[in-house]
């Protein structure tokens, strides 16, 4: 008789512990919907003092002669940003933007972030073409500007590092790494690893 009683007690204890320790399941979708609901109710906040990026088109090398339309388009994209709102909002979701700055500002912020993405992509692509056609000084100037505005373009960093190395200034590569460490981007570790391999 003792064995079945002992077995029952052990089973009861195990079941009791499982019931007591069971945590209520959280529904990720429900949590997101609640966060989005709160974000959509966040009132407009002042965004006039955000770190908008000024694009000094007149001092960037955008007049390198070319007979290719796609290159002129890249030059024009960068020029056009001089008169647009440009913000580096890498790493922030729309929900986070609404919570931080107010739902009524989301279209303005999204457009400014989109302008930033277009800008850094155009800088990297145009610099790559400049390097291919031996306009190294112009490429370096553009790439350094890209780093100064926090680009997360791996191509930007690696092209600039290769120019520094070719010029005999490998000591500047660690400075690029310091800039990359400040990024809030999924590419950060990959960029840092590639730059370290070039030293």
pLDDT digits (tens, 9 = 90+) for 126-151: 999 999 999 999 999 999 999 999 99
- The more confidently predicted of residues 135 and 9 is 135
pLDDT band of 7, cuts 50, 70, 90: low
CA distance 127 to 74: 10
CA distance 100 to 161: 36
pTM of the model: 0.83
DSSP per residue, 99-123: HHH-GGGHHHHHHHHHHHHHHHHHH
* Beta carbons of 66 and 72 less than 8 angstroms apart: yes
Q: Backbone phi, then psi, for 102, in 5-degree steps?
A: 100, 135
60 secondary structure, DSSP code: S
So where are the chain's domains? 50-198
């Amino acid at each position: 008789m003792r064995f079945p009683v002992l077995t029952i007690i052990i089973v009861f204890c195990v079941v009791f512990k499982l019931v007591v320790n069971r945590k209520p399941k959280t529904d990720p979708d429900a949590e997101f919907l609640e966060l989005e609901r709160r974000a959509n109710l966040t009132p407009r906040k002042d965004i006039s003092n955000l770190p908008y990026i000024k694009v000094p088109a007149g001092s960037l090398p955008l007049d390198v002669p070319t007979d290719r339309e796609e290159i002129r388009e890249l030059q024009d994209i960068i020029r056009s940003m001089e008169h647009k709102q440009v913000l580096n909002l890498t790493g922030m979701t729309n929900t986070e933007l609404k919570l931080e700055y107010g739902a009524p500002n989301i279209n303005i912020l999204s457009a400014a972030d989109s302008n930033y993405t277009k800008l850094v992509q155009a800088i990297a692509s145009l610099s790559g073409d400049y390097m291919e056609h031996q306009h190294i000084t112009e490429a370096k100037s553009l790439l350094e500007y890209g780093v100064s505005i926090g680009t997360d373009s791996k191509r930007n960093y690696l092209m600039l590092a290769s120019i520094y190395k070719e010029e005999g200034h490998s000591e500047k590569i660690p400075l690029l790494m310091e800039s990359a460490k400040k990024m809030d981007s999924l590419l950060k570790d990959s960029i840092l690893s590639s730059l370290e391999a070039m030293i």
